[in-house]
Amino acid sequence: MGQSQSAQQRQTKAGTGSRKSTKIIQANATAQASLKVSVKKKDPTCLDCGKEITEEVKALQCDKCGQETAWKCITCVGISPELYDMLTVEDGPDLKWFCEPCLHSPTSCPPVRDNNDKLEEIVGTMGKLMDKLCHIENRLDSKADVQQLAVVETKMRAVESKIDNIEQEIQEIKQNQKTDETQVIDCVEKVLTARSKESTDEEAEKAKRKTNVIIHGLPESGASEASERQDDDLGLIASMLHEMKCDDVEAVQTVRLGRKPDTDDSTHPHKPRPLKLVLKTEDQKIQVLTSAKNLRLIKDGGWKDVFLHADLTMKEREKRRQLVSEMKARKQQGETDLIIANGKIVRRAARTPSQ
**Tens of pLDDT along 121-151?**
777 788 788 888 887 777 766 665 666 777 7
Residue 332: pLDDT band by 50, 70, 90 thresholds?
A: very high
- Considering the domain architecture, whether residues 7 and 97 belong to the same structural domain is answered as yes
**Tens of pLDDT along 159-180?**
888 888 888 888 888 777 777 7
- Considering the domain architecture, whether residues 325 and 250 belong to the same structural domain is answered as no
- Considering the domain architecture, whether residues 119 and 42 belong to the same structural domain is answered as yes
Q: Is residue 152 part of a domain?
A: no
- Considering the domain architecture, whether residues 191 and 215 belong to the same structural domain is answered as no
Q: Is residue 296 part of a domain?
A: yes
- Considering the domain architecture, whether residues 7 and 126 belong to the same structural domain is answered as yes
Distance CA 174, CA 252 (A): 65
User: 123 and 21 in contact (C-beta within 8 Å)?
Assistant: yes
Residue finishing a domain among 208, 233, 266: 208
- Considering the domain architecture, whether residues 307 and 336 belong to the same structural domain is answered as no
Q: Is residue 225 part of a domain?
A: yes
Percent of the chain at pLDDT exceeding 90: 14
Question: Strand pairing partners for 61?
Answer: 3, 71
Four-point Cα dihedral 323, 326, 332, 338, nearest 10: -40
Q: Is residue 146 part of a domain?
A: no
Looking at residue 262, the DSSP 8-state letter turns out to be S
CATH number of the CATH domain containing 301: 3.30.70.1820
Q: pTM, whole model, 2 decimals?
A: 0.43
CATH number of the CATH domain containing 115: 3.30.40.10
Q: Which helix (H) or strand (E) holds 307?
A: strand 307-310
Report pLDDT for 276: 93
Report pLDDT for 37: 40
User: 65 and 71 in contact (C-beta within 8 Å)?
Assistant: no
**Tens of pLDDT along 309-320?**
899 898 888 988
- Considering the domain architecture, whether residues 181 and 115 belong to the same structural domain is answered as no
Residue 12: pLDDT band by 50, 70, 90 thresholds?
A: very low
Residue 330 has pLDDT above 80, yes or no: yes
**Tens of pLDDT along 203-261?**
999 899 999 999 998 888 888 888 888 888 899 999 889 888 898 999 899 999 988 87
Report pLDDT for 211: 93
**Residue type at 172 in one-letter notation:** E
User: 296 and 309 in contact (C-beta within 8 Å)?
Assistant: no
Q: What are phi and psi of 144, to 5 degrees?
A: -65, 150
Q: Is residue 19 part of a domain?
A: yes
Domain count for the chain, please give it: 4
- Considering the domain architecture, whether residues 136 and 16 belong to the same structural domain is answered as yes
Percent of the chain at pLDDT exceeding 70: 76
Report pLDDT for 148: 72
Q: Is residue 117 part of a domain?
A: yes
**What is the rounded average pLDDT for all residues in the chain?**
77
Residue finishing a domain among 290, 311, 332: 311
**Residue 191 belongs to domain spanning:** 159-208
Q: Is residue 151 part of a domain?
A: no
Residue 277: pLDDT band by 50, 70, 90 thresholds?
A: very high
